[in-house]
Chains A and B, each alone.
Chain A
Amino acid sequence: MPAPRTGRRAARARRPGAAWLGWLFALPAVLMYATFVLRPLLLTVQYSLYDWNGIGASTWVGLDNYRRLLTDPELSATILHAFELILFFSLIPVLLGLFVAATIRGIAESRLATVARTVLFLPQIIPLVAAGIMWSWLLSSTGLANELLSAVGLDSLTRAWLGDFGTALPAVGIIGAWVLVGLCTLLLLAGMSKIDPALYEAARLDGAGPVREFRSITLPSLRQEIGVCVTVTVIAALASFDIVYIATQGGPGNATMVPGLEIYYLAFSEREVGMASALAVALVVLVLVCVLPIQRLTRESR
């Protein structure tokens, strides 16, 4: 954010009334945002303090819903699942993205890389629902994943990946990783192209290998881009809904139940509006608590 310029200040001082009139420009946006985001958000907080089935009278229960959130293993498990998904949605795409981007940095201007830029973006263009459908099929008991395993003689490992208690959550995670790895790779690659090539040449002359080069030049220069990747992917993991809804609907059992889906079920099938709202508040806070420190860490140093 650039510092306010004094010229503008002076201009405003000449027309104090006109300055307030400027709010007319912001008004439509503020109204829409207040009506369809801020009001529901405050209502979520209000609902979370009540026991309400959505139809009849509601009873004030104070913080009981939040207490249940912490003690009911089924509900707290959803939050643990969301954190486990971070491993797949964030860690894998960022690490893999870093590795790939660093490896292809040298050929970033080639024709292949231009084509790759388009291809790697495809998962970002399609609805997550479609990604869910594709992968449900690939990971099904007769799907490609199992065929490949059989082809290399690992028949014993084949299973319905999304239907198995042990593998369902990681399988959902893999779908998310597939969606996000291209985006991370390209973001990091764009960041790397801004690094002065002279730095690398100097490092080569000093006899640094690729690993050293990566650690001393690439990684420190990419702080901001890594911050962006982590932020975007962590939000995607914590707030995941579409993929899980399509691929597993939270099952088998509750093995892949995530907060977003649980809110949906609680509010619209089980008619526990208060509990759904408490979980929603928890989710909103959780996202902020995870994202704000990342922003601080990566932005301040610039």
Chain B
Amino acid sequence: MIVKRREALIGRLLLVLLMAVTVIPFISLFVTALHPAGTYPSGLSWPENPQWGNFADAFRVANMEKLLWSSFLIVLGVVPVSLLFGTMAGFAFGHLRIPGHRAGFVIFLLGLTLPFEGIITPLYYQIRDLGLLNTRWAIILPLIGLFMPFSVVWMRAHFVTMPDDLSEAARIDGANTWQLFRRVHVPLAMPALSSLAILLFLWTWNQFLLAIVLVDDPAKRTMAGALGAFQGQWGTDIPLLCAGALLILVPTLAIFLAFQRRFVAALLQGSIKG
């Protein structure tokens, strides 16, 4: 078994190397953020006297509390509605198997591969005609539509595994379709729903294209969109930019570390089904 042990050692080394490559950009970002504002620090050197104040400065100049609030509102507008609509349609396509469910499902399925750039131009004019440019609705409403393919496909995949006997039993007890959905199937769909919620939260929070095209005011954008504006404004002040970027990362990183098992599982499943 000497071969096995040597292989395990090589495996460990390789893994550590890959982890290092993954983490070094984060470390570099952190170290750079601690250098005096306006300097061009080199690589990974630890500053002689770390400027923790940079984070406070970045927080202030980026209007961080406003950005957090804005992103929170957008997530609040997008995620619960997408979950509800996606679950209902997934239930209809996967469990009720409504007439024409196959054709309907394929139309959603094709939407999975659609790059957002493919529809961004008409979307701009559509949102303008609705009078919603520069409001958070300009991000919320299209995102719900754009998340429908994935949400429906994801929830349908859950509902096709639900046995029909379950519904038959509930029907015999006198439940109508809505009660069947609400009382029996939604509670059973919780694991699938919570993974979907994680993915939708992440994709909303990190949405960039819709934010920069449809909303000019960074304070009404998502975090990622605001970061783009922050780079445009402070791009020459490297330490400040790094501090700002890091601050914008913190909320997602914190949530990720708190729910990491669910996250990893959700993302792995998410790409398999997507």
Asked if A and B are interacting partners, one says yes
A60 at the interface (CB under 8 A from B): no
- Residues of A contacting B92 with CB < 8 Å? 22-23, 25-26
* Secondary structure type dominating chain B contacts: helix
A212 interfacial contact with B, CB 8 Å: no
A229-246 to B contact mask, C-beta < 8 Å, 1/0:
100100100110110011
- Alpha-carbon gap, A118 to B18, bound state (A): 12
Q: Is B96 an interface residue (CB 8 A)?
A: yes
Whether the pair B120, A264 counts as a contact (CB closer than 8 A) is yes
Q: How distant is A236 from chain B, measured CB to nearest CB, in Å?
A: 10
The residue that A37 contacts in the complex, of B8, B146, B223, with Cβ under 8 A, is: B146
Check if B119 sits within 8 Å of A41, measured CB to CB: yes
* Chain B contacts with A in 136-186, Cβ cutoff 8 A: 141-142, 144-146, 148-149, 151-152, 160, 164-165, 168, 171, 177, 181
Question: Measured between alpha carbons, how far is A71 from B270 in the docked complex, in Å?
Answer: 39
Q: What's the nearest-Cβ distance from chain B to residue A19, in Å? A: 6
Q: How near does chain B come to A158, taking the closest CB pair, in angstroms?
A: 12
What does the 1/0 interface line of A2-27 toward B look like (CB < 8 Å)? 10110110011000001111110110
> How many A-B Cβ pairs are below 8 Å?
301
Give residues 217-274 of B contacting A (CB, 8 Å): 223-224, 227-228, 231, 238, 241-242, 245, 248-249, 252-253, 256-257, 260, 263-264, 267-268, 271-272, 274
Contacts of A267 in B (CB 8 A): 120-121, 124
Can you show 21 pairs from A to B with CB atoms below 8 A apart? A7-B168, A29-B86, A36-B146, A37-B111, A43-B119, A116-B18, A118-B257, A119-B23, A121-B260, A122-B26, A123-B22, A131-B25, A133-B241, A137-B238, A142-B43, A147-B43, A178-B21, A245-B228, A263-B120, A267-B121, A277-B121
**Chain B contact residues, CB within 8 Å of chain A:** 4, 7-8, 10-12, 14-16, 18-19, 21-26, 28-29, 32, 40, 42-44, 84-86, 88-89, 91-93, 96-99, 104, 107-108, 110-111, 113-126, 141-142, 144-146, 148-149, 151-152, 160, 164-165, 168, 171, 177, 181, 202, 205-206, 208-209, 212-213, 223-224, 227-228, 231, 238, 241-242, 245, 248-249, 252-253, 256-257, 260, 263-264, 267-268, 271-272, 274
A28-B88, A121-B263, A123-B22 given. 11 additional CB < 8 A pairs?
Answer: A37-B119, A112-B15, A125-B256, A126-B252, A131-B25, A178-B21, A229-B271, A241-B209, A263-B120, A280-B118, A280-B120
